[in-house]
Amino acid sequence: MIDVVVDDLAFVEADAILRPADERLGPLTPAMTRLDQQGGERFARLRTVQTPLQAGAAVVTGGGDLTTPFVVHLILQDEQEAGDAALVRRVLRAAWQQAAAWQLDRIATPLVGAGPGRLSDEESAQIIAESFLAAAPSGGDARTLRIVVERDADRELIEAAVQRFRR
């Protein structure tokens, strides 16, 4: 199941949230900076890496002081690569694999890869929905995905973009 809600990602009820990040798990957007601040010092310590990660990877950590117990960090940028549609698809495949391995059934996400000079909001939503459903185990899927946006106007736009992917 996929739904779209207006909310603050830091306070969404879920097993995990997806968090776009750079190769050192740094935030890529102002929204992710706010999320990091809400996660507190414990979350900051959990995001410490010894060596840079490769774009396309997905890494699970605890959520620190966030509402969700886990965060799946999506590496969308490193020294070699930055978030085009192909990279967003690749990192989301890795995220859904991590979610399955960690048995994370309720996932919340921002519009991964969207923003100035990157994917449109609609393209991001479609890639998220399509990849989520493609990763569903055969015979049904009990997982839920909540796409979180900041404004009602955004919700209406994203609802329309993911409508054909709904089950």
Q: What are the pLDDT digits (tens) for 18-66?
A: 999 999 999 999 999 999 999 999 999 999 999 999 999 999 999 999 9
CA-CA distance, 119 to 113, in Å (whole number)?
6
pTM of the model: 0.93
162: number of CA atoms within 13 Å, CB side? 27
**Number of C-alpha atoms within 13 angstroms, CB side, residue 94?**
21
Domain containing residue 108: CATH number: 3.40.220.10
Residue 87 has pLDDT above 80, yes or no: yes
CB 49 within 8 A of CB 25: yes
Residue 139 has pLDDT above 70, yes or no: no
pLDDT, averaged across the chain: 92
Number of domains in the chain: 1
23: containing domain: 2-165
Residue 11: C-alpha distances to residues 8, 17, 104, 139 (Å): 6, 10, 17, 32
Q: Tokens standing for 52?
A: 């840079």
State the pLDDT confidence band at 165, using cuts at 50, 70 and 90: confident
Q: What is the pLDDT confidence band of residue 142, given thresholds at 50, 70 and 90?
A: low
What's the CA gap between 71 and 48, in Å, rounded? 14
